[in-house]
Structures are given as C-alpha cells and as structure tokens.
Amino acid sequence: MTFLISVGASVVAPFIVDGLKRISSAIASAATYPAEARPITEREAKFWAEVMVGARFEGLRPDELKATGLKLDESNGTAAVELQAADGSAYRVRLELVDGLVVLGEVQEINPEQST
C-alpha cells in the first residue's frame, strides 16, 4: 500500500507543481500588465444607473426611469447620471470603473432644482 501511495505521489506531483507554476505566472502577468483603462460609455452609465436606482429604492422599476442628465469623466473613468421617475422624483447616481467593471459610487434622491 505504501508503495502505491509513493508511486502515485511521484506521478501526480509534477502535474501539481506545473499547475501551480502556471497559476503564479498568470497572477504575475496580471499584476505586470493590468487591464487596459477605458472610460465608462454612455450606454453603460445609463443602464447601470437605472438598475442601481431600481434596486436601491423600493417600488421603482428601471424601465420607468428616464435619464435627464449625464456627465462622463473619461480621465478617471467615472460618470454621474441623473434620473427622473414618472412620479417626478429625481435621483443621482455616481459610477466608477474598477478593473474594467462598472461599480456603484453613490445613489441618492435629489431635489429637482439640484443638478450635476
């Protein structure tokens, strides 16, 4: 039995070591060459703003929101979107791009007189 375990370990060990080398190489490569920076697109900003407001405020559906303002800052990968619901309530969403993914910065209900 000990012999079989010893032989099995000898056969499997190189595969495990090779796999670990590949994983560490991929991690090192990702650290050396991070994802290419890109700005948030208008389409992404509007879509995610609607989704996030719908999730944050109960009773609001994303398809009932209309974008009334949009400010894209390509230099740092952020966006500010203002939305208005059918009942007149208004919302501001700040988004940012982290590792190529749009993430939520802030969602707030605003007065209609406030602007971005």
Residues 1, 55 within the same domain = no
pTM as predicted:
0.63
The answer to whether 53 touches 60, Cβ cutoff 8 Å, is yes
Q: 108: which strand partners?
A: 92
Q: Is residue 46 part of a domain?
A: yes
Residues 84, 47 within the same domain = yes
Confidence category of residue 6, pLDDT binned at 50, 70, 90: low
**pLDDT tens across 96-107, in order?**
888 777 777 788
CA distance 39 to 23: 29
In which domain, by residue range, is 96 found? 42-110
Q: Is residue 115 part of a domain?
A: no
Residues 53, 82 within the same domain = yes
Q: 72: which strand partners?
A: 79
The answer to whether 94 touches 101, Cβ cutoff 8 Å, is no
Q: Is residue 84 part of a domain?
A: yes
Total count of domains within the chain: 2
Residues 20, 58 within the same domain = no
Q: Is residue 116 part of a domain?
A: no
Residues 6, 56 within the same domain = no
Residues 24, 56 within the same domain = no
Q: Is residue 74 part of a domain?
A: yes
CA distance 65 to 53: 9
Residues 54, 9 within the same domain = no
**pLDDT tens across 31-82, in order?**
665 556 678 899 999 999 998 898 888 888 888 899 999 999 988 889 999 9
CA distance 11 to 111: 69
